[in-house]
Structure 1
């Protein structure tokens, strides 16, 4: 059995909130002037088993009660991790095909009713919580009324109650356009244009082989469901697009950072004819600011986002500044500070604490943030 290791670091942050014309301060200002947090790095005891960490928990999801983490491996095993005791509980074997087949998912999710959702290429498979039953839905232009001529992207879709699926849709040239809301039972699509093309196109990389387009790539577009809203954000802009689910209206909030730039620098070159040339171009672009997903902490009713920007270069090494930004429940920016945590590792909130994935010598670990408001 592996030992449970806990390292504690207490960090005290003092945020400078703008002075008011009188001596009274709002509740948020009083909280954030003396916000403190501690970081505990904990390891999961997996016994003699080896956990799947090669994709950095990209195929993982939290249970509804926040007590378990489910991690899906290429062996079609669902690893069940108890976050209370920090132990591996089980490895559940599944079939790839058949009436209870999971297919080849690129992401999984537990929806609001406790169903286990497996997202595949142009399909979604929704299982009961005990994996004893499954419904499979095709997400092609032929299967969905209202999607053609566009297609759904494979970036970070979300399901609300087992019936409504939210996804970004693209045109046939793989340029993102807006938000698609899919009724799985009715196989219908409502599309909302979000002017994503003009935001993403300058940062889209194209690889050409023998003069023909081989591949196009851009950073994932982030989706977060919270407070009956869908928050859409990109890696390139310090802003959030807020889609109200009830009124189906769109608003955009623009933020400002004192610690990073507010927009990724547009790369002077975005096309390449070899993989090595493309890697060189992308490495240079990575020096600019990159904004991570927005996470909602329902216990404290606050949003959190991590980002990074190049701080300095040492020889061939790039040293980044990692920044945490805090927003209130209405996505008003409250504070920001530098932190020593990977901004793009898998993260989730559990009982008001932020869990950030860390690999500790090939063992599953988490940097656990406990905030004191």
Structure 2
């Protein structure tokens, strides 16, 4: 709806999660008496039409947490909003052809700073400035990693991230045949690449289901791999497990963190069968996989100095026409990634969508009459 005024819909609903929280004592579980309130914020698009049909799966937040960058992967539009003023600021239209062209399908977007963006497509990684000019092509490809298998070469860009100076690039290539996942590190200043094996993540390569019948093929994956870059370390994690790898850039050391949460399984179960020739059996396997535990991103809350991570289990519904509902949980970790709290959140029907922290509150995307909106959650614990 064009010209809509920015709206703050105050919904002072107090949710209490204490009755469902961990069996740990209050001193051990910081989320034992978790409560929160929710407000809804809608961005004013001015006279612009912003396509939020598929949600902001590609977005970035400015370092001061004031500007929100929403990349539309197909149209090449980068729309910028002011989160404090709750309004549209500008749009950057990238070219689809020519010397400054972007990938035809943008699989990954990273905001390096407010004047530099990293865009990834099939075998293409490039940086652009704030007017859409291509700055550099990044030679991050299989040839730079001779130890990679062909399968790992295809997945080389998984979770791709670059540090702020664009000297170091990281990704998580995988190979189901070798049951192997690695941390790929490319030093753009010295033109050197290397692999760091993540052996405890190998089982995550088994979470892809395949259906083949003649020339028909379908595939479904259920354990995404993700990276989070910090000043001196890299965190590797997956939606299929609570476990986290930390790679220290200063000491060149790798640490594997495992957990035994009380309220949720520590990891999803590997499917008993992964290859199907019967469509009904394939669909049933997908339903079963979707009912497993699913862990969200690691969300850094600067105001408290902790990480929060959602987890959920989708409950099967006898009526496919009804919205699916999930059991939602929240886990808390300290700066050293020790588990310090967990709670079941009865009032949330699903995990927050594309969440981030701003000024100590969790912002989560919501579609408000086809306009960009956010549920702003204020936790109290």
How would you bin the TM-score normalised by the shorter chain? 0.7 to 0.9
1:167 deviates by 0.1
Residue deviations 1:46-103, cap 9 Å, x none?
Answer: 1343222233211211122221111122221111111111111122222123332222
* Residue 93 of structure 1 pairs with residue 79 of structure 2: no
* Residue 81 of structure 1 pairs with residue 81 of structure 2: yes
Q: Does structure 2 conserve the Cα–Cα contact (< 8 Å) formed by 1:226 and 1:296?
A: no
Name the TM-score, length of structure 2 as normaliser: 0.84
Is the deviation greater in 287-296 or in 194-203? 194-203
Name the TM-score, length of structure 1 as normaliser: 0.86
The alignment of Structure 1 onto Structure 2 pairs a total of residues equal to 365
Distance 1:346 1:241 in 2: 22
Distance 1:122 1:191 in 2: 18
Is the deviation greater in 88-97 or in 265-274? 265-274
Is the deviation greater in 147-156 or in 59-68? 147-156
Is the deviation greater in 125-134 or in 53-62? 125-134
* Residue 326 of structure 1 pairs with residue 364 of structure 2: no
Residue deviations 1:194-224, cap 9 Å, x none?
Answer: 0156321332212324289775744310211
Spell out the pairing of 1:308-327 with structure 2 (5 A cutoff): 308-311=312-315, 313-316=317-320, 318-327=324-333
Q: Which has the higher contact order (CA 8 A, sep 6+)?
A: 2
Residue 290 of structure 2 corresponds to: 286
1:354 deviates by 1.4
Is the deviation greater in 212-221 or in 355-364? 212-221
1:164 deviates by 0.8
Residue deviations 1:217-246, cap 9 Å, x none?
Answer: 443102112352212112222221222222
Q: Which 4+ residue blocks in structure 1 deviate beyond 6 angstroms? A: 211-214
RMSD (CA atoms):
2.9
Indicate the SS of the match to 1:200: helix
* Structure 1 residues 345 and 210: CA distance shift in structure 2, 3 A: same
* Structure 1 residues 81 and 277: CA distance shift in structure 2, 3 A: farther
* Residue 61 of structure 1 pairs with residue 69 of structure 2: no
Distance 2:318 2:218 in 1: 34
Is the deviation greater in 363-372 or in 274-283? 274-283
Indicate the SS of the match to 1:278: helix
Q: Does structure 1 conserve the Cα–Cα contact (< 8 Å) formed by 2:58 and 2:71?
A: yes
Aligned mate of 1:160, from 160, 163, 183: 163
Indicate the SS of the match to 1:192: strand
* Structure 1 residues 223 and 341: CA distance shift in structure 2, 3 A: farther
Instruction: Flag structure 1 segments of 5+ consecutive residues without an equivalent.
Output: none
